[in-house]
Amino acid sequence: MSKERLGYFDPKKPQEGRITDIGPSHYGQFMPPILRKNYGNWASHRILEPGLLMHVSETGDKAFSVRFGAPRVMSVEHIREICDIADKYCNGYVRWTTRNNVEFITDKEDTARALKKDLDSRKHIGGSFKFPTGGTGNSITNIVHTQGWLHCHTPATDASGLVKAVADDLFNDFKTMRMPAKLRVSMACCLNMCGAVHCSDIALLGYHRKPPAIDNDAVGKACEIPLVVAACPLYAIKPVTTAEGKKTVTINTEKCMYCGNCYTMCMGLPLADKEGDGVAILAGGKISNRLSQPKFSKVVVPWLPNEMPRWPSVVKTVHQIVEAYAKDAKKYERLGDWAERIGWERFFEKCGLEFSWHLLDDYRLAYDTFRTSTQFKYTDHAWAVSKAAGGI
């Protein structure tokens, strides 16, 4: 590559030599030979131990995959070390999974086992593992997440740090496969959800609790006011002209649900606020069609504070949910299926979670979530209502 400041680009002739619309590099050139040879001919698989998979083809060929967890924020130094390992054991082939894990694939079992040992032996100076193997089968695999304070303009919390704290707590379950079914934890640092955590067994969601601050000057100068008004899903934004004649907007704070959609359209309406921002926890979603249909995660904790640097309240709450599930669910039962079988009232009881009015839906189609049946279980929450109603 060129080391010139502007490389191959000549600003005087910007079109010269420009290559466009070439798409991604073709995957075929990056597949290890064992996978090319057996492409489309795989017959079965077996997880030999946490972090080590064996796939068997129609011809009896075997591919061994070693999986390790990676933070998705990664320096080139980290990638280069992964490359060194790939060169040493796998002839330079390596792949990433959808959940930010990394896999080395080889046709030799002893190579895979040596590789696995090597990976587990490497640590950062600070003491954490660089390449912990695991994340297979019914483990709690890597927590996918978003950018947070490292790089994003709308977060209500950090992503990498919160995930690190939770993943430390769940680490043993990354290394073992004791869960009744897969348990997917995901994290998104605001409602935009570039992490699309809305269908995870446990979702951590950065959440703002205050309406935007209005920077009249910036709204007037830098924003398309009609677009800002139209951006609000609850019609809470109105265009106004200030006493000084400046065009800006007002926000009906009663209507605002702090979604940040207006801020996406207009930099003059920032939401971030130290006291307002925190983390909501959702649970019981899934993506797979296995047994039950895919389902959304439900809000089970409306808000917990941002407690930097290690978010002890979030970590503790996730831990409680995981342990209650691991102890009580039947095999093959996803967290959401478990909650539905025992009843959500029992879910809150077993997980030791508060239930407050915040968890009663009041957005569109809320009525669909109301219980219109006499089928319920008695828990402390129920007795409290009976007492309050003067019935006991």
Partner 1 sequence: MGIPGKEKLWDKEEKEHRKYDDVRIFADKDLKNYTEDELKTFKPKHATPMLDELEKGPWPSFVSDLKREALHRKKVGQDNLLIPMEAVDDLLGVVELSYKEGETHWKHGGIVGVLGYGGGVIGRYCDQQQKFPAVAHFHTIRVNQPGAKFYNTDFLRAFCDICEYRGSGITNMHGSTGDMVMLGSTTEQLEPIFFDLTHDLGNDIGGSGSNLRTPSDCIGPARCEFACYDTLGMCYEMTMAFQDELHRPAFPYKFKFKFDGCPNCCVASIARSDMAFIGTWKDDIRINQEAVQAYVADKIPRDGGGMTGANWGPFDIKSEIIDLCPTHCMQWDGKKLSINNAECIRCMHCINAMPEALRVGKDTGLSILLGAKAPILEGAQMSVLTVPFMYAKHPFESQQAFARKVQDWWIEEGKNRERLGELIQRMGLKTLIEVLGLPAMPQMVKEPRSNPYVFFKADEVPGGFARDIDDYRSRHPK
Restricting to residues 161-220, name those near partner 1 by CB under 8 A.
Answer: 161, 164-165, 167-168, 171, 174, 176-180, 188, 191-196, 198-199
Q: Report whether 190 contacts 155 (CB < 8 A).
A: yes
Who's near 106: CB < 8 A, 6+ residues apart?
32, 34, 63, 64, 66, 89, 90, 112, 115
Cα 176 → chain centroid:
21
Q: Could you identify the residue written with the tokens 């790089």? A: 151
Nearest to 32 by CA among 73, 89, 78, 77: 89
Binders in 254-313 for partner 1, by CB under 8 A: 259, 261, 263, 267, 272-275, 277, 287-292, 294, 296, 306, 308-310
Q: Could you identify the residue written with the tokens 């949910």? A: 321
Residues in the chain: 392
**Residue 231 and residue 240: Cα distance in Å, rounded?**
16
372 makes contact with partner 1 (CB under 8 A): no
* Minimum CB distance to partner 1, residue 351 (Å): 19
Q: Is residue 382 classed as helix, strand or coil in its secondary structure?
A: helix
Q: Which stretch binds partner 1 (CB under 8 A): 8-16, 107-115, 345-353, 367-375?
A: 8-16
Residue with smaller CB distance to partner 1, 177 or 304 = 177
332 makes contact with partner 1 (CB under 8 A): yes
Q: Which stretch binds partner 1 (CB under 8 A): 127-135, 243-251, 352-360, 380-388?
A: 127-135
Q: Could you identify the residue written with the tokens 């009881």? A: 349
The two three-digit tokens of residue 58, written as one number: 């129609």
Residue with smaller CB distance to partner 1, 125 or 392 = 125
Q: Which stretch binds partner 1 (CB under 8 A): 145-153, 248-256, 348-356, 370-378?
A: 145-153
Q: Could you identify the residue written with the tokens 């073992």? A: 176
Residue with smaller CB distance to partner 1, 195 or 317 = 195
From candidates 59, 96, 316, 385, binder to partner 1 by CB under 8 A: 96
158 makes contact with partner 1 (CB under 8 A): yes
Span between the terminal Cα atoms of the chain, in Å:
79
Number of residues this chain uses to bind partner 1 (CB under 8 A):
146
From candidates 59, 80, 117, 356, binder to partner 1 by CB under 8 A: 80
